[in-house]
Amino acid sequence: MEKDIPKTIRYRWHIFWILSIQYLFVYFHRVCPAVVASDLMKSFNLSGTSLGILASVYFYSYGVMQIPVGILSDRWGPKKVITLFSLVAACGSIMFGISHHFNMAIISRIFVGLGVSAIFIGTMKLLSHWFKSIEYARISGTLMSIGGVGWLLATTPLAIAAQTFGWRGSFIIVGIISLFLVAITWWVVADTPSKKGLPEIVEQSNTGTKLTAGGLKNITSIFKERHFWAIAIWFIMRGGALFGFFGLWAGPYLMDIYNLSYYESGNILSMVAFAMIFLSPVLGYLSDKILSSRKKILVGTSIINVLCWIVMLLYFDRLSIIGLYILFFFMGITISSVGTIAIIATKEYFPTEIAGTSMGAMNIFPFLGGLAFQPLLGYILDKSGKINDSYLPLGYRSIICLLFFTSVLALISILFSRDTMKKYNT
């Protein structure tokens, strides 16, 4: 059987790339409202608060499902869960494209959030059967990079597609592509090498990760860990900035304050995606090989993030175009690229038997930030008023001031986390 191990190694990369493309659309759906925000407001006659609600319902359904998805993956196997939920997401995207009423658009976004909620946790669980633990951080970083490609597609490419096919046609096309991926996932992906008649290359735990009668007890033990909450609070603040501002209101900010076009603002927003694509694996390598620390990465990027918000607050309407590109790139490093490190640190707080559940539990919190901050920032902008369909500079200054404050809270919170590398490596 040992001679068949190279077949397992080759096959696992087929699985990795299929699931990675699925994950690409997870990020696309998270941040796509930023580029088409103006179109959505005109199509449904929305206020800023209403647009924030439309964008944030994705996070409600996504966040609520994280623990259930972990349990379902344990009971049914991640392949079935990913396939079923991805089908829901594909149908939701098509529904969104054909929505002509605000209520239908809301329901469509709920379906999208519900559908994509299974992909990250299901993929992380499935890949743990195909890759050894010493490869896991690198693979997770690569997965996050491909998520960054999804973010990138939701910037300038989406702006071009919206101009060419209309925003409705763009989401219908995404839904059709997603249906194709559902079929490929069902026919190609397998939960373990043995399901494909291939030899195992990962030592499997005898105890497994069954969450039946002991499921509630496992969840309770996770929430009782005080270091868990240090990362959770950090994630709420990060999610508020990442999804509340960069995933929705950064586009209108660039167009209203700097008078940039769809394409110009999309190009600047893409810097967050480029940072995620190119820096996620680098941060994973630094954490594993150079610093041998999760906490140093999280604290260091949090300090840089605070400095970025200070710059944006002081020069929020006076940055050069080059300055905006640089600032958004560093924001991408310190907000989006570092998320995987925090998830892996959470996994290492707990025994292997409940690692998947702990990741699912932690993955709720960035989306709590998103669902709270998207309508909150819209409400602040609405209160500031509009002139000729553009929000006033005072409104944008107010939300940037708030996000600076939350970045400080994130830094303080992460200082109370515990490093896991020494324990993990022994």
Pull the structure tokens for residue 146: 């491909």
pLDDT given for residue 359 in this prediction: 80
pLDDT given for residue 109 in this prediction: 94
Given a cut of 60, is residue 424 above it in pLDDT?
no
Counted residue by residue, the chain has a size of 426
pLDDT given for residue 208 in this prediction: 42
Is the distance from CB of 376 to CB of 228 less than 8 angstroms?
no
Average predicted confidence (pLDDT) for the chain: 85
pLDDT given for residue 422 in this prediction: 54
pLDDT given for residue 352 in this prediction: 64
Q: Which of 26, 288, 232, 293 is nearest to 143 (CA)?
A: 26
List Cα–Cα distances, 280 to 140, 145, 217, 338, 396, in angstroms: 9, 6, 33, 7, 29
Region 292-296 average pLDDT? 86
Within a 10 A sphere around the Cβ of 322, how many other Cβ atoms? 8
88-125 per-position pLDDT tens digit: 999 999 999 999 899 999 999 999 999 999 998 888 88
Region 70-83 average pLDDT? 85
pLDDT given for residue 195 in this prediction: 85
pLDDT given for residue 280 in this prediction: 82
130: helix, strand or coil:
coil
Q: Is the pTM of this model over 0.85?
A: no
As a whole number of angstroms, the distance between CA 242 and CA 335 comes to 6
351-377 per-position pLDDT tens digit: 766 766 788 788 889 878 887 888 899
Is the distance from CB of 234 to CB of 112 less than 8 angstroms?
no
As a whole number of angstroms, the distance between CA 61 and CA 118 comes to 11
pLDDT band at 403 (very low <50, low <70, confident <90, very high): very high
Tell me 391's DSSP state.
Answer: E
Given a cut of 70, is residue 158 above it in pLDDT?
yes
Is the distance from CB of 191 to CB of 126 less than 8 angstroms?
yes
The CATH classification of domain 2-191+214-425, taken from the options 3.40.710.10, 3.40.50.1820, 1.20.1050.10, 1.20.1250.20: 1.20.1250.20
CA 176 to chain centre: 22
* Sign of torsion over alpha carbons 261, 264, 266, 269: negative
**Residues 384-398: b if buried by 16+ CB within 10 A, e if exposed:** beeeeeebbeebbbb
Is the distance from CB of 231 to CB of 346 less than 8 angstroms?
yes
pLDDT band at 69 (very low <50, low <70, confident <90, very high): confident
Contacts with 258 (C-beta within 8 Å, 6 or more apart), sequence order = 265, 317, 319, 321, 324
Region 255-276 average pLDDT? 86
Is the distance from CB of 234 to CB of 413 less than 8 angstroms?
yes
pLDDT given for residue 355 in this prediction: 66
pLDDT given for residue 291 in this prediction: 84
Region 283-307 average pLDDT? 88
pLDDT given for residue 360 in this prediction: 79
| Helix locations, 189-261, DSSP H | 215-223, 226-239, 250-258
Is the distance from CB of 83 to CB of 131 less than 8 angstroms?
no
Range in 66-75, 80-89, 167-176, 208-217 the model is least confident about: 208-217
pLDDT given for residue 212 in this prediction: 44
Listed by start position, the domains of the chain span 2-191+214-425
pLDDT given for residue 20 in this prediction: 93
Range in 20-24, 57-61, 300-304, 421-425 the model is least confident about: 421-425
pLDDT given for residue 206 in this prediction: 42
194-242 per-position pLDDT tens digit: 888 887 775 554 444 444 434 567 778 888 888 999 999 999 999 999 8
Helices 133-153/5-31 angle, 10° precision: 40
DSSP letters spanning 336-388: IITHHHHHHHHHHTS-GGGHHHHHHHHTTHHHHHHHHHHHHHHHHHHHH-EET
The alpha carbons of the chain give a radius of gyration, in whole angstroms, of 21
Is the distance from CB of 249 to CB of 40 less than 8 angstroms?
no
302-353 per-position pLDDT tens digit: 999 999 999 999 998 899 999 999 999 999 889 877 888 888 788 788 876 6
